[in-house]
């Protein structure tokens, strides 16, 4: 049934003891949803396990983080249009996935994200300009990953996943209670690194949770042209880990599902794969024209599913969201937006030789040679300009 005794000892895997391994590993028949599109708490869902609705203070905090995430997306989009930032992969409409990712982690846990996960990265405490420095084109990264237990965002699909598994494996060997949460998109599931990471995680039974933000498109390629599996979460059973599906625009369900997987991993239950069903409301990046491969009718169908409006209505109708809260969240979000604007307005003068200084702790002979060549060319150009 399994090669890991600790797997059987964990209460969350009790179904295996009853001989229902295949059933337990399969995701719920429909994505887990606790608050529907009308902002009403949903009851009676037939899911693989009971997911309780998070309490009101947690949901209120989550709503404030959604407001912040939406404001970050809006401000970043404006900065790109003004020419003050080179590129921005928007997560407008996907903010709930990222908010749940960092709200379910502890300080000693690790987050591995992608180029689209700026909101999640800032949620880990990374300062606004540090999070956006690489998108402005000034630095290799912009922040120290060890300061925030947050890996540098990757552009190459799925390359962060084996590294996430490696950190989780190291934590297990050291006897730490660290959990690693690895974010990726639906396009990443078509990459070899995705499969390598899941297989290693399952075989070595490491504390890592894979959260797929299925926003329906890998740039212009729709999901139907990437996979014909019943769902991306179904891929988990092939590796021997449980999979689950969740409404990626329902923060309450995300907090419950991701939180359950994180705590299960922390207590020795091993890895898990979660597919969050969401939608990329804006283009892939500012360099993309999404109208070339999807219709406005399709996009309009997702507008009522907005995670921000859904949770706002639920909290308001339940009497948990006062006007003072709304104002407080908006003011806090505007402060972050202003910090980002001010930072982008500051003139930056990068040193070209930094390209070589921070690749390795000890530069290779090739890097030293290339650095010396560039330094000579810069010096020659400066002398020519002076004369």
Predicted confidence (pLDDT) per residue in 240-298, tens digit: 999 999 999 999 999 999 999 999 999 999 999 999 999 999 999 998 999 999 999 99
1: confidence class by pLDDT, cuts 50, 70, 90: very low
Stretch 349-374: mean pLDDT, rounded? 91
Q: Report pLDDT digits (tens) over 148-172.
A: 999 999 989 999 999 999 999 999 9
> Domain check: are 88 and 215 in the same one?
yes
DSSP state of 48: S
Please state, in angstroms and rounded to a whole number, the distance separating the CA atoms of residues 359 and 114.
20
Q: Please give the pLDDT value at position 80.
A: 93
Kind and range of the H or E run holding 212: strand 208-214
Kind and range of the H or E run holding 272: strand 272-277
- pTM above threshold 0.85: yes
> Domain check: are 219 and 113 in the same one?
yes
Please state, in angstroms and rounded to a whole number, the distance separating the CA atoms of residues 24 and 15.
6
293 in catalytic set? yes
Look at the chain and report how many structural domains it folds into.
2
pLDDT beyond 70 at 18:
no
pLDDT beyond 90 at 326:
yes
- Token code pair at residue 317: 């109708």
**What is the sign, positive or negative, of the torsion defined by CA atoms of 277, 205, 151, 266?**
positive
pLDDT beyond 60 at 14:
no
Stretch 125-146: mean pLDDT, rounded? 87
66 domain-assigned: yes
> Domain check: are 24 and 133 in the same one?
yes
Please state, in angstroms and rounded to a whole number, the distance separating the CA atoms of residues 165 and 272.
12
DSSP percent split of the chain into helix, strand, coil, nearest 5: 50, 10, 40
pLDDT beyond 80 at 13:
no
Q: Please give the pLDDT value at position 11.
A: 56
- Token code pair at residue 382: 């400066």
Q: Report pLDDT digits (tens) over 33-85.
A: 999 999 999 877 789 899 999 999 999 999 999 999 999 999 999 999 998 88
Q: Please give the pLDDT value at position 22.
A: 72
Q: Please give the pLDDT value at position 108.
A: 97
Choose the catalytic residue: 140, 293, 357, 358. Answer: 293
Choose the catalytic residue: 279, 280, 310, 314. Answer: 280
385: confidence class by pLDDT, cuts 50, 70, 90: low
Please state, in angstroms and rounded to a whole number, the distance separating the CA atoms of residues 56 and 320.
7
280 in catalytic set? yes
Number of neighbouring beta carbons within 10 Å of residue 375: 13
pLDDT beyond 60 at 112:
yes
**What is the sign, positive or negative, of the torsion defined by CA atoms of 380, 385, 386, 387?**
positive
> Domain check: are 133 and 271 in the same one?
yes
> Domain check: are 375 and 285 in the same one?
no
Choose the catalytic residue: 124, 169, 205, 284. Answer: 284
> Domain check: are 226 and 247 in the same one?
yes
> Domain check: are 337 and 362 in the same one?
no
Q: Please give the pLDDT value at position 383.
A: 85
Please state, in angstroms and rounded to a whole number, the distance separating the CA atoms of residues 302 and 196.
33
> Domain check: are 118 and 162 in the same one?
yes
| Nearest residue to 24 (alpha-carbon basis) of 201, 243, 209 | 243
Domain that holds residue 378: 355-386
349: confidence class by pLDDT, cuts 50, 70, 90: confident
pLDDT beyond 90 at 24:
no
Q: Please give the pLDDT value at position 95.
A: 97
> Domain check: are 194 and 92 in the same one?
yes
Stretch 106-114: mean pLDDT, rounded? 97
> Domain check: are 244 and 371 in the same one?
no
Count Cβ neighbours within 10 Å for each residue of 172-207 and write b for 16 or more, e otherwise: beeeeebbbbbbbbbbbbbbebbbebbebbbebbbb
pLDDT beyond 60 at 12:
no
Q: Please give the pLDDT value at position 386.
A: 67
């Amino acid at each position: 049934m399994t090669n890991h005794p600790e797997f059987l000892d964990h209460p969350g895997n009790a179904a295996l003891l009853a001989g229902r391994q295949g059933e337990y590993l399969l995701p719920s028949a429909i994505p887990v949803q606790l608050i529907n599109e009308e902002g009403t708490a949903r009851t009676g869902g037939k899911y693989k396990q009971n997911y309780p609705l998070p309490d009101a203070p947690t949901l209120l905090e989550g709503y404030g983080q959604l407001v912040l995430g939406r404001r970050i997306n809006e401000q970043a989009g404006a900065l790109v249009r003004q020419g003050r930032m080179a590129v921005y992969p928007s997560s407008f409409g996907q903010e709930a996935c990222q908010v749940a990712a960092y709200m379910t982690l502890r300080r000693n846990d690790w987050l591995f994200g992608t180029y689209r996960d700026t909101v999640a990265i800032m949620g880990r405490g990374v300062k606004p300009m540090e999070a956006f420095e690489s998108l402005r084109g000034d630095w290799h990264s912009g922040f120290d990953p060890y300061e925030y237990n947050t890996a540098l965002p990757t552009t190459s699909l799925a390359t962060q996943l084996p590294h996430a598994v490696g950190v989780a494996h190291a934590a297990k060997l050291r006897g730490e209670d660290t959990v690693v949460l690895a974010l990726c998109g639906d396009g990443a599931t078509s990459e070899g690194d995705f499969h390598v990471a899941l297989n290693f995680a399952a075989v070595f039974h490491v504390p890592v949770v894979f959260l797929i933000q299925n926003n329906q498109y890998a740039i212009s390629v729709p999901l139907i042209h990437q996979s014909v599996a019943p769902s991306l979460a179904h891929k988990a059973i092939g590796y021997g880990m449980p999979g689950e599906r969740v409404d990626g625009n329902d923060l309450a369900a995300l907090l419950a599902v991701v939180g359950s997987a994180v705590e299960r991993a922390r207590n020795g239950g091993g890895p898990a794969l979660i597919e969050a069903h969401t939608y990329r409301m804006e283009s892939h990046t500012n360099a993309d024209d999404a109208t070339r491969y999807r219709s406005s009718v399709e996009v309009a169908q997702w507008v009522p599913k907005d995670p921000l409006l859904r949770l706002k209505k639920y909290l308001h109708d339940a009497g948990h969201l006062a006007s003072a809260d709304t104002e407080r969240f908006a003011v806090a979000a505007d402060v972050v937006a202003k910090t980002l604007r001010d930072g982008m307005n500051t003139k930056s003068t990068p040193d070209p030789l930094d390209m070589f200084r921070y690749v390795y702790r000890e530069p290779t002979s090739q890097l030293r040679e290339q650095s010396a060549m560039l330094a000579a060319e810069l010096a020659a150009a400066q002398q020519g300009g002076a004369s």
